[in-house]
Amino acid sequence: MGVWGTKARRMSSVGEMTTYRVAIVMGSGSDRPVMEKAGAMLERFGIESDTRVISAHKTPDLAIEFAETAADEGYSVIIAGAGKAAHLAGVMAAKSLLPVIGVPIAASLDGMDALLATVQMPTGIPVATVAIDAANNAALLAVSMLAVGDPDLTSQLSDYRAELAEKTLAG
């Protein structure tokens, strides 16, 4: 299983090292161009990420093992992207208590099949779902989740939103 990722560390305002890790998993290597955007966005906020190809259908035992051990491995959030049947996020959510953010990928049917498979989870097993191919938004949602208990990260997120507003008004 190939793993690639970013190593980022954040320094809090009181000089303490704060480390967050987000797992980025995808169903196929062809999903990489979309999912790399999540890693880049997390890196912007100083959040470490590891990216892996894990298929809910072709490597189900590996998917289950990863989901079951992700918290013990130090991850705080799982971002799962997949196209077509797109069951990866659901498997992650079913086997982990970590928050899972699903990224439906436009691999067929303009991504509508993946969107519906990701968003229609049964009661009790939630998956936060972003728009088709919106790995950036998945990363930003992960940052928002982590910022709940981190004033410095909240400030960075606020600054990012202010930059967005400035770019929009200048545009």
Q: Which residue has the tokens 């190593």?
A: 7
**Kind and range of the H or E run holding 166:** helix 151-170
The full set of domain ranges for the chain reads: 3-170
User: What digits encode the pLDDT tens for the residues 62-88?
Assistant: 999 999 999 999 999 999 999 998 899
Strand-pairing partners, residue 21, are: 48
The domain defined by 3-170 folds into: Rossmann fold (3.40.50)
Of residues 133, 129, 67, the one with CA closest to residue 96: 67
Number of H helices, E strands in the chain: 6, 8
User: What digits encode the pLDDT tens for the residues 13-68?
Assistant: 444 556 899 999 999 999 999 999 999 999 999 999 999 999 999 999 999 999 99
What is the distance between the alpha carbons of residues 113 and 98, in angstroms, rounded to a whole number? 25
